[in-house]
Amino acid sequence: MPGSEIPAGESDLRVAVEPVRSETCGSASALAQAFGGAILEPSWWPADTKDISYSLDGQPGHSHYYIGSTRAEAVPICVAGFREATWAGRSPRDWLQGEWSEPHQLAHLRGLVGWVGIPPRLQTVIYDQQLAIQLIGYRTEDEMMNAVRSLHPIDPR
């Protein structure tokens, strides 16, 4: 039920359920327009990546975008972008449990690479163009570096 509170166990904790705006876009430029500013899109994808889709979730000012698809064996792959200000300077180490490293190739982007989740999957977080970008679904650091090197800005139409 949108906006309702649901008891969580026997404690005084409550969970509020609220609908989130979600929009599918037909192109990167349409996504940038819906996002309200430039986005970063990779031009390189692993060979087993299927058709790419573009979507936006969240409310204006607090939205995030996804550019992604699936790989062989239905593994999701995506680049998720957020305005860096919405993270308020937090590092993924603060909110994603995992083992993180800081490869020297990503130092200029304050980039982190980590094995996150159960089972652990490779993720990268970089900061560029006032955006925080997560790369998810890449199998190796080489794949991630290819994707990062291929990121290019797409301005709204």
Q: Is residue 14 part of a domain?
A: no
Q: Is residue 9 part of a domain?
A: no
- What are 147's two structure tokens? 């994707």
C-alpha distances in Å from residue 111, one per residue of 6, 10, 48, 101: 38, 42, 25, 9
Please report which confidence band the pLDDT of residue 1 belongs to, taking 50, 70 and 90 as the band edges: very low
More confident residue, 21 or 24: 24
Q: Are 125 and 92 in contact (CB under 8 A)?
A: yes
Q: How many domains does the chain have?
A: 1
Residue 140 burial class via C-beta count within 10 angstroms: exposed 0-12, middle 13-18, buried 19 and up: exposed
- Quick: pLDDT tens for 42-97: 999 999 999 999 999 987 778 899 999 999 989 999 999 999 888 787 788 887 88
What's the confidence (pLDDT) of residue 5? 59
Q: Is residue 3 part of a domain?
A: no
Q: Is residue 15 part of a domain?
A: no
Q: Are 46 and 139 in contact (CB under 8 A)?
A: yes
Q: Is residue 6 part of a domain?
A: no
Q: Which residues contact 59 (CB under 8 A, 6 or more apart)?
A: 20, 21
Q: Is residue 49 part of a domain?
A: yes
Q: What is the mean pLDDT of residues 37-44?
A: 96
Q: What is the mean pLDDT of residues 10-29?
A: 81
